Amino acid sequence: MIDPTPNEQNAMTHAGELGGEYLDSIAKSDLARLSLEEWRTFIEVIVTGYCDHLRDLAARDDEHIRAMQERAPF
């Protein structure tokens, strides 16, 4: 990703934390030692966490923008 936005950076951090939690839950840290099923679950946790968090941030931003539009600009 080239020049990620602040929301994308935040979502990456969140997804990384979720990936770490998954690895902790299976007591593994060496990615080369994951089974195929563990690897797929690890990727799913990260990708889903990233997308979900980015959507949540976008919704929050949208609510903020809408609230600003409802106020008089002066």
Instruction: Give the pLDDT band (50/70/90) at residue 66.
Output: low
Mean of per-residue pLDDT scores for the chain: 91
What's this model's pTM, rounded to 2 decimal places?
Answer: 0.80
3-state secondary structure of 46: helix
- So what's the pLDDT on residue 67? 65
In sequence order, the 6+-apart residues with CB closer than 8 A to the CB of 51 are 11
Instruction: Give the pLDDT band (50/70/90) at residue 46.
Output: very high
- Every domain of the chain and the residues it spans: 18-24+35-67
Q: Does the pLDDT value for residue 62 go beyond 80?
A: no
Q: How far apart are the first and last CA of the chain?
A: 39
- So what's the pLDDT on residue 33? 97
Interatomic CA distance for residues 18 and 42, integer angstroms: 9
